[in-house]
Amino acid sequence: MEGEISMRKHGIALAACLFLLGGLASQAGAQKTTFLLDWIIYGKHAPFFVAKDMGFYKKYGIDVTYKRGFGSGRTIKDIASGVGDIGFADAGSLVNGRANSNLKVTMVAMGHAKTIMIAAFLKKKGYKTPKDMGGAIIGAPIGNAVRVVWPAFAEANKISKVKWVDMGYGSVLPSLLTGKTDVALWFATELPTALPKASKRGLEIDYFNYGKWGVNIYNNGVIVRDPDMEKRAKFIKNTVRALMEAFAWSTIHVDDAIKNFLKYAPAMSEPIIREHFAIMLEYLWDDGTRRHGLGYMDHAKMDKTVETLTTLSKLKRRIPTNNLYTNRFLPQWESIKAKLGDKVR
């Protein structure tokens, strides 16, 4: 058995080998980095840990420590104030933070290229369109990305005033299932956990995807402080490259990516993590990333993201779209595809 485990570990390492040729940087001299995630660690984050555990960061001389997030709004503020070096947060919250609080943070790679935000509810509520949620009681953490973008969703669908109940993440689903709240605001990656728990109570969950109901915007991506784009350009470029290589590798080596991640989420079952991961893969790709590679942000789509949120959320000002994002730190996608072969999209 011990030999089998050893062989399995070696097999996973060999699967990443092609990317790591060219010499690994000495970990003793690696640049220590704090990476702030958007939320608690769960299945959609598996590729981040591939980057950490399978040598992608090490190849570029980076030693990353991940810290869980408390909502994209908080992550953006913490990156702006220097609590972390690099982060993963929602574009809608970033537009809000730059427009209303002048936070000097920029997105340097896209993760969720399609809108992953949903408003979930018990099917017995009978909501046929989002407008039917007028007057609903909504439970959500302060700073939750889906809550931050809610004003745009509500305006697009003429949803009348709702009642907010501030609560921690762990209370959102129980409150929905027991009828204390009417609506839960999530990313679609919450559904694999929520649906079985509802089913055990004889309940069904339905939802409206923001993107299909008037708010088709970019979602989560990699963010950095504005001054660092000049002061630490090489560090940002290397970190983004390592991440994009790890994400691309993970789209092919799904089993290995998931098995590597299991130790970071011991309370989650492997089937649930697989469902999280499958949803994440679906939202990685849009027309822009298919043409130009993972992480790519299309200017017209980003401009629409800014315009939609500025208008529907009634932000203080309309920030210049070019101030929100840049593709200049992205790696050459063809070089990544050349190493992965035809298996990557």
Q: How far apart are CA 161 and CA 334, in angstroms?
A: 49
Asked if residue 315 and residue 222 are part of one domain, the reply reads yes
pTM for this predicted structure: 0.85
Asked if residue 166 and residue 257 are part of one domain, the reply reads no
pLDDT of residue 274: 95
Helices (H), 16-142: 17-20, 46-53, 56-59, 72-81, 91-101
pLDDT of residue 342: 59
pLDDT of residue 273: 94
Asked if residue 279 and residue 196 are part of one domain, the reply reads no
Asked if residue 224 and residue 307 are part of one domain, the reply reads yes
Q: How far apart are CA 205 and CA 121, in angstroms?
A: 6
Asked if residue 173 and residue 223 are part of one domain, the reply reads no
Which is nearest to 276 in space by CA: 12, 37, 46, 36? 46
The string of pLDDT tens digits covering residues 5-33 is: 343 444 444 445 445 544 444 455 789 99
**Of 213, 231, 248, which one is at a domain's C-terminal end?**
213
The string of pLDDT tens digits covering residues 56-77 is: 999 999 999 999 999 899 999 9
Asked if residue 158 and residue 47 are part of one domain, the reply reads no
**Of 153, 179, 213, which one is at a domain's C-terminal end?**
213
pLDDT of residue 2: 39
Asked if residue 160 and residue 12 are part of one domain, the reply reads no
Asked if residue 123 and residue 109 are part of one domain, the reply reads no
Domain of 143, CATH number, reads: 3.40.190.10
CA distances from 99 to 16, 90, 317 (A): 41, 14, 6
pLDDT of residue 20: 52
Q: How many domains does the chain have?
A: 2
**Of 157, 188, 213, which one is at a domain's C-terminal end?**
213
Asked if residue 231 and residue 202 are part of one domain, the reply reads no
Asked if residue 224 and residue 133 are part of one domain, the reply reads no
pLDDT of residue 7: 39
Domain span at 316: 2-114+218-343
Which is nearest to 184 in space by CA: 117, 251, 238? 117
Going by the DSSP 8-state scheme, the letter that residue 325 receives in this structure is B
Read off the tokens for 172.
């959102």
Asked if residue 102 and residue 187 are part of one domain, the reply reads no
User: What DSSP element (H or E) covers 87?
Assistant: strand 86-90
Q: How far apart are CA 116 and CA 217, in angstroms?
A: 9
Asked if residue 228 and residue 110 are part of one domain, the reply reads yes
pLDDT of residue 169: 87
Taking 50 as the pLDDT cut, the residues of the chain under it are 1-15, 17-18, 21-26
